[in-house]
C-alpha cells in the first residue's frame, strides 16, 4: 500500500512502558510513581496501557507489586479503567493472579524459535502452546480477552534470521485459538523496513491484518523506519514505550523499545490518524526522566511537539 493510499487511517496504540520498559530499569520505582505514570498515559488517550506483569517476582523483581498497582488504579479511577489496561501473564498461575486482580485483558508470549522460548519461558514451544490453550479457556470463562506476542519474529539472538513462514504458522495457530491481537515483536531490534513489509505480507495471508500489531525495538536505530514500513504495509496497531525505555532481560544487547511519542509523531506527520495526545506522552517521559535524574532515549519529549498551534 502506498503512503498516499493510507492517509488518515486510524492508528490503534498500546503503551507498553509500564511493563516492558520499567522491568528493565536498574532502579526500582515505588508503586505510587508507577500508578502516576500509568494515569498520565491513560489521560493521554492511548488505546491500551500494558500496566504490569504477573510473572514471578523472582524472575522480574521490578514488577513484584503487580496486584498493588492494579488495586491502586481501580481505587483511583474506578473499575472502568480495567477496559484500558492489559497485563502480561506467563502461565496459568499468572493468569489466576491477573484475574484475581480484575484484569479484563491479558497478553501471553511465545518465542518463535525454540531456543528463545527456552531462555525466556524455560519451556519448549509445544509446552507453551499447551499452556496458552489453558489460559485461553480461563479467559473465556472469566470474559477476559487475550492477546499474543510472538517474540524474536524477525531475528533470534540464538538462532539468527527467522523464516517468515515460521512466524505465519505460529500466528495462525494463535489466531485459531482465539487471540484478539497478535503482536509481531522485533525483540532484539534486528529488523529492517523491507523485512517488516515482507513479514507483514506473509503473515497477513494466514491472519487478518486487523489482528496484527507491531512491537518494535530501536536497538540498531531502525525502529521509526520500521514503524513507517509497517504502516505502509497495512498494519494499524502498534506498541511502544514512552521515552524509549525498555529492552528484554532475556535477549543479550536488546536495548530500548521504539519510543511511543517519536513513532506516533512520525506516523501523524506522515498522514496517519493519531488520536493520542503527544504532549501528554512527552510529559510522562519528562516526569520519569526527572525522577531518574537522566535523559531517556526518546527525542520528542526533549525537543517538543512542533507545528502550528503546538506548545512545543
Residues with catalytic function: 248
Q: Which three cell numbers stand for residue 308?
A: 502550528
109 three-state secondary structure: strand
Residue found under cell 523491507: 194
**3-state helix vs strand vs coil in the chain, percent to 5:** 45, 15, 35
* Cα distance between residue 155 and residue 66, in whole Å: 30
The enclosing H or E element of 291 equals helix 278-292
* Cα distance between residue 312 and residue 309, in whole Å: 9
CA atoms within 13 A on the CB side of 72: 17
Give me the phi and psi of 239, to 5 degrees please. Answer: -125, 145
CA atoms within 13 A on the CB side of 208: 8
48 three-state secondary structure: strand
Per-residue CA distances from 137 to 16, 80, 184, 211 (Å): 25, 24, 23, 20
- Check the CA dihedral 207-96-94-118 and report its sign: negative
Amino acid at each position: 500500500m502506498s503512503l498516499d493510499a493510507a492517509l488518515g487511517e486510524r492508528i490503534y496504540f498500546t503503551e507498553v512502558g509500564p511493563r516492558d520498559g520499567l522491568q528493565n530499569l536498574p532502579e526500582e520505582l515505588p508503586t505510587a510513581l508507577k500508578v502516576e505514570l500509568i494515569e498520565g498515559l491513560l489521560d493521554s488517550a492511548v488505546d491500551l496501557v500494558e500496566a504490569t506483569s504477573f510473572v514471578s517476582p523472582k524472575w522480574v523483581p521490578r514488577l513484584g507489586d503487580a496486584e498493588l498497582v492494579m488495586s491502586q488504579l481501580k481505587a483511583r479511577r474506578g473499575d472502568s479503567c480495567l477496559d484500558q489496561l492489559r497485563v502480561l501473564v506467563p502461565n496459568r498461575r499468572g493468569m489466576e493472579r491477573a484475574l484475581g486482580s480484575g484484569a479484563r485483558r491479558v497478553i501471553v508470549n511465545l518465542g518463535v524459535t525454540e531456543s528463545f522460548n527456552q531462555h525466556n519461558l524455560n519451556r519448549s514451544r509445544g509446552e507453551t502452546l499447551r499452556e496458552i490453550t489453558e489460559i485461553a479457556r480461563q479467559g473465556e470463562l472469566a470474559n477476559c480477552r487475550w492477546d499474543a506476542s510472538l517474540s524474536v519474529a524477525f531475528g533470534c539472538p540464538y538462532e539468527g534470521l527467522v523464516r517468515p513462514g515460521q512466524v505465519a504458522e505460529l500466528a495462525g495457530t494463535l489466531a485459531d485459538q482465539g487471540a484478539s491481537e497478535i503482536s509481531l515483536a522485533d525483540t532484539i531490534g534486528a529488523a529492517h523496513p523491507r523485512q517488516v513489509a515482507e513479514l507483514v505480507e506473509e503473515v497477513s495471508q494466514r491472519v487478518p491484518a486487523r489482528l496484527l500489531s507491531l512491537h518494535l525495538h530501536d536497538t540498531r536505530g531502525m525502529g521509526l523506519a520500521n514503524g513507517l514500513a509497517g504502516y505502509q504495509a497495512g498494519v494499524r496497531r502498534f506498541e511502544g514505550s514512552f521515552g524509549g525505555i525498555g529492552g528484554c532481560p532475556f535477549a543479550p544487547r536488546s536495548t530500548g523499545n521504539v519510543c511511543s511519542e517519536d513513532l506516533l509523531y512520525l506516523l501523524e506527520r506522515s498522514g496517519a490518524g493519531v488520536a493520542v495526545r503527544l504532549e501528554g506522552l512527552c510529559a510522562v517521559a519528562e516526569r520519569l526522566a526527572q525522577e531518574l535524574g537522566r535523559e531517556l532515549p526518546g527525542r520528542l519529549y526533549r525537543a517538543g511537539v512542533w507545528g502550528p498551534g503546538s506548545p512545543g
